[in-house]
Amino acid sequence: MRTFFQPSKLKEFSQALRQYISETMKTPIELTENEIVQLSWYMDSTVVTPEATEKDIQAKLHFEIKRGLARRYGFELLLRGDDDAYQEFIASQKKGFQLSHERFDSLSAEARAMSDDLKIAVKATCFLTLSENAKKVAVAPTDKTFSTDSEEFLSQLCGESLALNKMIFPVLSTLTESQLSLMTKAFWPNMHFRHMLFTEGGVQMTKTFSDGVLSHQFSRDDFKIWKWRWLTNLFGFQLGQGAKCFDAPMSVLSRIVFSELEKLFNAPTENNFLKSYLLMRASIAEFNQMPQNDQLFLGHLAAYFHQINIMTPELGASLLAGYQQFNQANRGNTVASAYVTHCFNPQAVTPTYVPAVLNNAFVCFEKTMDEKSAVSLATKFMCQFLQSLYACPIDQRISCMDLAQAKVLQPVLTDWLSDHHAVQFEFVDGVAKRVRSVALVCGSH
């Protein structure tokens, strides 16, 4: 078992871990020694993202450790399945949007009906993510190099590399061969559920899924571990008691995505997932009377929002108002058609961390105005930003990870407001340059 801590420091970490668990979980979960060592790997991570600030990564327990614990806790609550477990699960969910007891019971029944192998595999996935320490021990096949993208890295490690050495991850070291075989399916390559949910990617998001079905390498049984790996991922996506993120709206949206994906088992060559999902999101927010390109783009913006779920006509109207304000200020607007051209082009490279820009803009605006006004203004800002982004060559990779951080985005928004929304955005070699006094730190990552 590979540890990067001295025994005394590992003991100190273990104590901090148990203290955090006792403070945040009404019914504390029990961790094995391997699981504790696995979690300790993430203490040295220095990656700052829109979700993990410098303060988060310098905390006594790293942000990703807390996320992993939240994922596991949510799953354990479903395995318990009693009323107390339900109350713990919804403890930090917003009133009026809490997951129903009926839906909790349904998920609980599904979780408890799993085979022992599947339960063990799901628990293991909760504690796996990219870290500097994981990179140190990764053994790649001789003709390949590891990706710097977290999901691609895990897909590589849980594929050929895991077959070479199952001791790569402490949490996997005691798994049987049948349990290990599930990990390859859990981390199926280029099949990122949250990207589908938030429509971060384009039409190619489901390609490896379809290819796997066509080649008989990914079955309906395989879909179970993939689905549950991502359900638990949502349980820990936002920190808070229980499963803060997985409320009633998120449950509905997740079921829609899973249902649309399952259609590919019957028709893997019909790549209709993205269009079908976008039109469904547009219909939920009552954009379905508009031209189709507008529906697709507005459905896309609705899907981008996750700090607030655009799932009512009222919030849909606020988003639409921001879009219409942008149109009025930009005669001959082409942002909707530009989006459709971009996302349905198989050659297009997906820009990263774009939803985080919108969501953090909404959070910034909501500090000084009501919720609906914040949705409208964030939408208008995003339309302007996306119009410039879609003007870039489709093969150009652009990351907005830096821009999406609040400390960078806040002054950008302040300048945007003070300049009467007239700021222009420009991207050069994947980097957004200063235009009209606004610096967008947006590089190629």
Average of per-residue pLDDT across 322-331:
89
CA distances from 410 to 275, 414, 421, 444 (A): 33, 6, 14, 21
User: Measured at the alpha carbon of residue 321, what is the angle toward residues 319 and 326, in degrees to the nearest 5?
Assistant: 100
State the average pLDDT for the chain: 86
Is residue 285 within 8 Å of residue 319, measured between CB atoms? Answer: yes
Of 123-132, 188-197, 288-297, the range with the lowest mean pLDDT is 123-132
Around Cβ 172, how many Cβ atoms within 10 Å? 23
377: which residues sit within 8 A by CB, 6+ positions away? 322, 361, 365, 369
DSSP string, 279-318: HHHHHHTT-TTS-HHHHHHHHHHHHH--SS---SHHHHHH
Which range has highest mean pLDDT (104-118, 317-331, 424-438)?
A: 104-118
pLDDT digits 0-9 by tens, 380-439: 999 999 988 888 888 887 888 888 888 889 988 998 988 766 666 666 554 444 344 333
pLDDT above 60 for 38: yes
- Is residue 48's pLDDT more than 60? no
Q: What pLDDT is recorded for position 429?
A: 54
Nearest one of 34, 59, 57 to 45, comparing CA atoms? 57
How many Å apart are CA 405 and CA 441, to the nearest integer?
Answer: 10
Measured in residues, the chain has a length of 445
Q: Alpha-carbon distance 19 to 2, whole Å?
A: 24
User: Given this model, what pLDDT does residue 431 score?
Assistant: 46
pTM: 0.87
**pLDDT band, very low/low/confident/very high, at 155 (cuts 50, 70, 90):** confident
In this prediction, residues 196-201 reach a mean pLDDT of 93
Angle subtended by helix axes 63-80 and 33-40, to nearest 10: 150
438 strand-pairing partners: 435
Q: Number of C-alpha atoms within 13 angstroms, CB side, residue 84?
A: 5
Render pLDDT for 327-378 as a digit per residue (tens, 0 to 9): 988 876 789 999 999 999 999 888 888 999 999 999 999 999 999 999 999 9
